[in-house]
Amino acid sequence: MSIISDYAPDPKKQLVYTNLQNKTLSDVTALDIERLTDPTFIQATNQDALITYNIVNKAAMRDGGPMPDKGTVLVLTQSNDSDVQYVQPAKGEVFEIMGISATVTGVDGNNTYSMYLCSETGQSTALMVYIQNLISGSTNVSIFPSDTESKFPLTLTNTMFLRLDSNMDNQTGTTAFKIAYIQRR
């Protein structure tokens, strides 16, 4: 007995094909898919649309695995204590963060690196997931070393922010945060 059906929706009746006909699979964004799927109710009359969305998502490799050509190392620079940096995927996207490092230059005193998960950029009571105190000048540090206490991979959705903060004791200097991530959706 076959679990997979041989049924296929009529492609001429599917709005997804009309709306995306001028895009290649690599050009289809999470927002494109969300605009099509959000108004769709889960009901029998929409079976063809639901099957078609699934086909397009699988073809674009939006099945929860790493997406081809969708990994990068993002560099965010903090130039003073109040210049806190944030990472947030676009609507409909999911990032899996593989590692983070911080490179500090031009600072002679104490540095404190903090990383928080929060639901608003200005939220000061966010969930702290990492802190490291360094008493040194310019340095390069892996925020998550590859040890048994590593928090990676860290999954980040578009409804969450990753807040990166380098407290440089009000000194003039810069911190370059490097965030390596892959896009899962």
Assess whether 118 and 159 both reside in one domain: yes
Backbone phi and psi for residue 80, each to the nearest 5 degrees, phi listed first = -160, 175
Question: Is 60 exceeded by the pLDDT of residue 146?
Answer: no
Question: Is 50 exceeded by the pLDDT of residue 82?
Answer: yes
Question: Is 80 exceeded by the pLDDT of residue 77?
Answer: yes
Please give the residue that has the higher pLDDT: either 161 or 150. Answer: 161
DSSP helix/strand/coil, 27: helix
Percent of the chain with pLDDT strictly greater than 90 = 2
pTM: 0.67
* pLDDT average, residue stretch 138-144: 60
**Rounded Cα–Cα distance for residues 115 and 175 (Å):** 13
Q: Give the β-pairing of 71-78 and 154-157.
A: unpaired
Total number of domains constituting the chain: 2
Evaluate whether residue 167 is within a structural domain. Answer: yes
Backbone phi and psi for residue 51, each to the nearest 5 degrees, phi listed first = -65, -40
| pLDDT value of residue 114 | 77
Assess whether 48 and 75 both reside in one domain: no
How many angstroms separate the first and last alpha carbons of the chain?
A: 33
Evaluate whether residue 65 is within a structural domain. Answer: no
Evaluate whether residue 1 is within a structural domain. Answer: no
Q: How far is CA 154 from CA 25, 28, 35, 39, 130, in A?
A: 27, 25, 27, 30, 12
CA angle 38, 44, 47 (to 5 degrees): 65
Assess whether 89 and 164 both reside in one domain: yes
For residue 88, what is the domain's CATH number?
2.60.120.340
The residue segments making up the domain with residue 85 are 71-183
| pLDDT value of residue 131 | 61
Assess whether 52 and 80 both reside in one domain: no
Confidence grade of residue 130 (pLDDT, cut at 50, 70, 90): low
Assess whether 24 and 94 both reside in one domain: no
Assess whether 104 and 166 both reside in one domain: yes
Evaluate whether residue 5 is within a structural domain. Answer: no
Assess whether 54 and 117 both reside in one domain: no
Q: How far is CA 63 from CA 55, 120, 176, 177, in A?
A: 10, 28, 32, 29
Give residue 106's identity as a one-letter amino acid code.
G
Question: Is 80 exceeded by the pLDDT of residue 106?
Answer: no
Task: Give the best-scoring range by mean pLDDT among 55-59, 108-112, 127-131.
Answer: 55-59
